[in-house]
Structure 1
Amino acid sequence: MKRVIVGLSGGVDSSVAAYLLKQQGYEVIGLFMKNWHDDSVTISDDCPWLDDSNDAMLVADKLGIPFQTVDLSEQYKERIVDYMFEEYKNGRTPNPDVLCNREIKFDVFMKIALDLGADYVATGHYCRKGSLEKDGETVYQLLSGVDNNKDQSYFLCQLSQAQLTKALFPIGELTKPEVREIAKAQDLVTADKKDSQGLCFIGKVRLPEFLQQKLKPKEGLIVEIPKSLESFSVEMPEFESKIDELQFLAQKPHYQVSEGKVVGKHQGAHYFTKGQRKGLAVGGTVEPLFVIDTDVDENVIYTGQGHSHPGLLKRVLFVNNDELHWVRADLALKTNDSMEVMARIRYRQKLGKATLYKTRDGLFVEFENQQSAITEGQFVAWYLDDELVGSGVIS
């Protein structure tokens, strides 16, 4: 019997994952990861880790599998929380869920599992693992989940071949309603439990309060930039090469306070992210205001009216070499190569047609259609059919 250690989170998905593995004849052990101690910044009723760990224990008991808790809060603080503070301080918006999978679940946690003699680590992610033979080697594939509505391959976009080799995703072939049905049929305590929201394994966090632990509030201006700003209607110059054109289109605009009008005050530019609508507390505009950029050095938030404000829309983004990752290393582009893909810049976003262009310094991603609120620090992931083949941090 192969031994599988399941990351039991106290939710329905990982509960059913454990049940299915047991049905398939694996020796299953449940492990709950405790990643956080500070309850002062979590909205305690929404996802307290104590309730989750109790639910995980009850599920393990019901399934008749061994169960224990591992405390990874130190590693989580170092690798996820400190990184988040640093990114927000620099005016980027990190994605802790993607990082948590790469750094915690499929690294720290996986090492613990393998030390316990596990052959595999399993999670309740809605994605699938495939494999193919290439040049006499087995290559593993990260495939999207069958449930289009719940596909979570995006959150695993930073996994490596070594991590995929040891990973199992038992519910990837199922839809969410099917998972709940199985949980009900097995009388699992998590059958009707709401999906947790918020930070991976911390629960729902009040982000400003969370960030205020390190990043102090500081009053600054909210400036509205008009759609008629001259730089939005600059004519496209003639380019000598495709790369010159992409560089031009990927440029980050630099706004000045003098180009717009001051419409309010805020308590810290680093608490806001591009595309954000809530929390500005500015009324009296014809269309809702959206954040189109933040300047953390000058502590200014630039906003624009409406979904279609030109400051929100862009077709091209860039990923630096050191933040570029190929799940399928065998498909990695060489300098001057290009590849047609489907791509997304956030979870649950519909995949859109895009072309990758590899340069000496990194990778341009050119979308066929304009994208709203391309945000530095977030991940772009690209697919060939239903296989996620690579990703990178938007720079």
Structure 2
Amino acid sequence: MKRVIIGLSGGVDSSVAAYILKEQGYEVIGLFMKNWHDDSVTISDECPWLDDSNDAMLVADKLGIPFQTVDLSEQYKERIVDYMFNEYEKGRTPNPDVLCNREIKFDVFMKIALELGADYVATGHYCRKGTVNKNGEEVYQLLAGVDGNKDQSYFLCQLSQDQLAKSLFPIGELTKPEVREIAAKLDLVTADKKDSQGLCFIGKVKLPDFLQQQLKPKEGVIVEVSKNNSKFNKEDIQFNSKEEELVYLSRKMNFTEEDGKVVGKHQGAHYFTKGQRKGLGVGGTVEPLFVIDTNVDDNIIYTGQGKAHPGIYKTALFIDNEELHWVRPDLKLENGNSMQVMARIRYRQTLEKATLYKVESGLYIEFENPQSAIAEGQFAAWYLEDELVGSGVIS
């Protein structure tokens, strides 16, 4: 009887995952991760982790499995929260959920589970694990969840072969309605519970309020750049190589205040991200303003009217070698090689046709269609059919 320790979050997905594992004959232990307890930054008066841990305990009780809480708040602050502040300060847009899976759930938590004698760690993610045999060795696959609407493989895009080897995803073959139905039949307290929103484990927070704890407000100007600005002219440039073209297509636009007109003020460029519309507080334009770029050094936000503004779109991005990760190391591209894939730059985005190009310094992804709001610091992930094979941080 193999032992599985499941991260019981107090939500419906992990509750049903625990039930399925028990039905499959595993010895199941529920562990609740307490990762955050600074309630000063949550929007509502609720104390999310307390409610969640109570719900997790009630589910464990109902399913008849042992339950305990483990406090990982120190590691969470160090590896996730500090990283977030650091990234925003640099004018990048981090993805704490991807990081939380790599650093907390499948690293710190997994080590604790294995010390407790677990054979596997399980979570309530909507994704699947597969295996292929390559040269007599078992290679693990990270596959999309059956429910296309809820597929969460993107959030696990940084997992390694070692982490996948010890992971189980019991609800990957189910759809969300099916999961809720099972929970209702079992009369679990989490059956109708809303999905958690906001930052992984912190709950609903106003991001600027959260960031203001460490990144001080600093007044700067909002500049509106016209879509007719000469910088957006696609002049016919002759490139000497494919790499030269990719460098051009993935470049960061260098705007200056002279490229537009000042239309408002803001309290800190580091609170904003590319493609953002809310929080600018500028009215009187024909179409709403969207952030097309930020400059944290000069503390200027550059904006453009309408979501079709050319400043929001790019067809290529670059990932530095240090930020490049292959879930399937056996499929890794060698320098000078390319690969046709389907890729996404954010969770829930539909997969887009793209080509990977491996160069000396890293990897370029060129999309067939222009992509909106490619933000530095976010993760790009690429797939072969329904298998996520690699990912990296956008440079």
TM-score by length of 2: 0.99
2:199 equivalent to 1:199: yes
State the partner residue of 2:379: 379
1:8 alignment partner AA: L
1:213-232 matched pairs, under 5 angstroms: 213-232=213-232
- SS state at 1:371 partner: strand
SS in structure 2 opposite 1:316?
Answer: strand
* Alignment partner, residue 38 of structure 1: 38
- The 8 Å contact of residues 47 and 202 in structure 1, kept in 2 or not, is answered as no
Q: Deviations over 1:44-65 (max 9, x none)?
A: 3466110000000000000000
Query: Quick one: distance in 1 between partners of 2:35 and 2:264?
Result: 38
1:115 aligned residue = 115
2:176 is matched with: 176
Residue identity in the other structure for 1:260: G
What pairs with 1:251-290 in structure 2 (closer than 5 Å)? 251-290=251-290
Q: Separation in 1 of the partners of 2:312 and 2:84?
A: 23
Distance 1:58 1:131, change over 3 A: same
Q: Is the 8 A contact 1:47 1:196 kept in 2?
A: no
Once residues 46 and 297 of structure 2 are traced to their aligned partners in structure 1, the CA distance between those partners, rounded to angstroms, is 34
How is 1:77-88 mapped onto 2 (pairs within 5 angstroms)?
77-88=77-88
- AA of the residue aligned to 1:374: I
Aligned to 1:343: 343
**Residues 47 and 203, structure 1, Cα contact 8 Å, conserved in 2:** no
Taking only the aligned residue pairs, the percentage that are identical comes to 79
Q: CA RMSD in A?
A: 0.7
* 1:236, distance to aligned residue in structure 2 (A): 3.0
Of the structure 1 ranges 35-44 and 347-356, higher mean CA displacement relative to structure 2 is found in 35-44
8 Å CA contact 1:316, 1:366 repeated in 2: yes
The 1:154/1:219 distance shift into structure 2, 3 A limit, reads same
Distance across 2 between alignment mates of 1:46 and 1:371: 37
Q: What SS class does the counterpart of residue 370 from structure 1 fall into?
A: strand
CA contact (8 A) 2:39 2:47 kept: no
- Displaced runs of 4 or more, over 3 A: 44-47
Residue 109 of structure 1: CA displacement? 0.1
Aligned residues, how many? 395
Partner AA of 2:392 in structure 1: G
Equivalent in the alignment of 2:188: 188
State the alpha-carbon separation in 2 of the partners of residues 23 and 199 from structure 1.
32
**Partner residue in 1 for 2:235:** 235
**Secondary structure in structure 2 of the residue aligned to 1:215:** coil
TM-score (norm 1): 0.99
Q: In 1, Cα distance between the equivalents of 2:232 and 2:55?
A: 53
Q: What secondary structure is seen at the aligned counterpart in 2 of 1:247? A: helix
User: What is residue 247 of structure 1 aligned with on the other side?
Assistant: 247
| Matched letter for residue 154 of structure 1 | Y
The whole-number CA distance in structure 2 between the counterparts of 1:162 and 1:391 is 16
Deviation track 1:310-333 (CA, whole Å, cap 9, x = no partner) reads: 100000000000000000000000
SS in 1 for 2:13: helix
Q: Tell me the distance in 1 between the aligned counterparts of 2:149 and 2:263.
A: 38
Structure 1 stretches lacking a partner, 5+ long: none
Residues in 1 aligned to 2:310 and 2:105: alpha-carbon distance in whole angstroms? 39
Alignment of 1:282-301 (within 5 A): 282-301=282-301
8 Å Cα contact 1:46/1:196 also seen in 2: no
Report the Cα distance in structure 1 between the residues aligned to 2:236 and 2:2, rounded to whole angstroms: 60
Summarize deviations over 1:255-283 as a string: whole Å, max 9, x none.
Answer: 01111011100000000000000000111
The answer for the alignment partner of 2:328 in structure 1 is: 328
2:187 partner letter? D
- Per the TM alignment, residue 209 of structure 1 is displaced from its structure 2 partner at its CA by 1.1
Q: 1:213 to 1:111 in 2, by over 3 A?
A: same
Give the conservation status (yes or no) of the 8 Å contact 1:47–1:204. Answer: no
Distance 1:66 1:259 in 2: 62
Equivalent residues of 1:13, 1:124 under 8 A apart: yes
Structure 1 position 231, deviation (Å): 1.1
Within 1, Cα distance between the matches of 2:39 and 2:61? 27
The gaps in structure 2 that reach 5 residues or longer are none
Partners of 2:244 and 2:6 lie apart in 1 by 48
